[in-house]
Structure 1
């Protein structure tokens, strides 16, 4: 891993307002680049907006190629990797919740949400792969909101070689302080247990579809310690992810746990 500055944005993402949300994205991409960030992460479904309206999602999915093109132009113009969320068409009139990974060289990939929260099950088709991405000298994984509650996913990404886990959220309810407290019950464990940096961010404000989101963002080092955080809407955190910080943990026999795993004992996880 090379030294890299990352940014995570908390912003309003009105449901179905793709063009407006792309304008917001472009504004924050410029700010992240001005702060020297090599990667900027936006909340889950920040371009399409988050809601529980199937028709709205199908309309937004029809703009998928437009979204990829717009984000690619931003990434090239500002020489920055953009992690941004939208929906893509899937079988049966449903969609996938995906987080695009757009590099300045024009390459575009993405992560599809694997664990679908109960209110979303009639809307989203779950993904079937655990991809990693490499850009700006860093190897990283992406998880979307509900995904982060399943420890095996973070471990799988760490075992594949991830140095950073980005966790974009579209998590409604609660005050920003309550949401941050909720995250701090499990996100530090994902960092600490796996020896990785973790950066998470949430949507903020009203979405125009009956939901409100507390703007929160946090970055954690591989010991689970907070590097940066905010509970303010329409804001951004930046954090420097250093290979020396990573190696301090991974070279310490009592602070890096993955090499001590005994998967032959764990079986299928159902007690067998």
Structure 2
């Protein structure tokens, strides 16, 4: 099955949710009719810089589903395009609890579910609580998973999602300059490790001392980059063919060759 993926690589105005939403909608309107799935970078509505946003995260946060989900669902319904997006979520029962959350809307505009970032970067613990699940979702006839930025350092979660049937894992990120090597290496390695497609959605622009490197990309099950953005705003569009997954797994049956009964030491404290 062939699917066309749109990756929105955008700059974000710090703490200006409306301006950022308008920019995201502009890019969705540009390509919505031409892509099956469209994805947005980490904290696209607020910007990321923890030291500049600080406690304003609590006022910028919203529930999932909530206003941003509903607004993007209208676009998904209009264009028949599934949308994956990441925002600051406040817990619906405990408003003082925040998560780094990615949600999924299907091509009919229905809210499908969410993933709460499990592996928080050390500085993120000051504001956010870790998630505890690795869900997979059915969108456009394929199974997808989510990993957020620092998550892609942890190959175990990718293997779990692959074993659950994930064919494509989307990685919304805010990776700064000087960390390009991690974005490049891990996106390809996690794809080849599990013989799946990975989609890295990174942002661009500058927030005080941080400049974000862009380089959004799609990697195939061989770990090869099939399309890549530079460091400018825009939408990267690439086509994936999920039949390549089975071809790679027939050639080299990595998942079938696993010996989980020998891996217990991985989880010993």
Normalised to the residue count of structure 2, the TM-score between the two structures is 0.91
Structure 2 unmatched runs, 5+: none
Q: Matches of 1:70 and 1:4 in 2, distance apart?
A: 24
Q: Matches of 2:161 and 2:183 in 1, distance apart?
A: 19
Matches within 5 A, 1:148-167: 148-167=152-171
Q: Provide the residue aligned with 1:249 in structure 2.
A: 248
In the superposition, relative to structure 1, how do residues 69 and 191 fare at CA in structure 2: closer, same or farther (>3 Å)? same
Q: Provide the residue aligned with 2:46 in structure 1.
A: 48
State the number of aligned residues.
263
Mean Cα deviation higher: 57-66 or 67-76: 57-66
Matches within 5 A, 1:5-24: 5-24=4-23
Deviation at 1:63, TM superposition (A): 7.1
Q: Secondary structure at the match of 2:32?
A: helix
**Does the alignment pair 1:132 with 2:131?**
no
Deviation at 1:270, TM superposition (A): 5.3
Q: Matches of 2:80 and 2:95 in 1, distance apart?
A: 38
Deviation at 1:59, TM superposition (A): 1.3
Q: Matches of 1:270 and 1:191 in 2, distance apart?
A: 23
Q: Secondary structure at the match of 2:199?
A: strand
Normalised to the residue count of structure 1, the TM-score between the two structures is 0.90
Q: Matches of 2:95 and 2:45 in 1, distance apart?
A: 23
Q: Secondary structure at the match of 2:222?
A: coil
Kindly report the root-mean-square deviation, in angstroms, between the aligned alpha carbons of the 2 structures. 1.9
Deviant stretches of 4+, over 6 Å: none
Contact 1:4 1:138 in 2 (8 A): no
Contact 1:192 1:223 in 2 (8 A): yes
Contact 1:13 1:46 in 2 (8 A): yes
Superposed CA offset, 1:190-218 (max 9, x none): 111101001102111024x6532122211
**Does the alignment pair 1:168 with 2:167?**
no
Q: Secondary structure at the match of 1:93?
A: coil
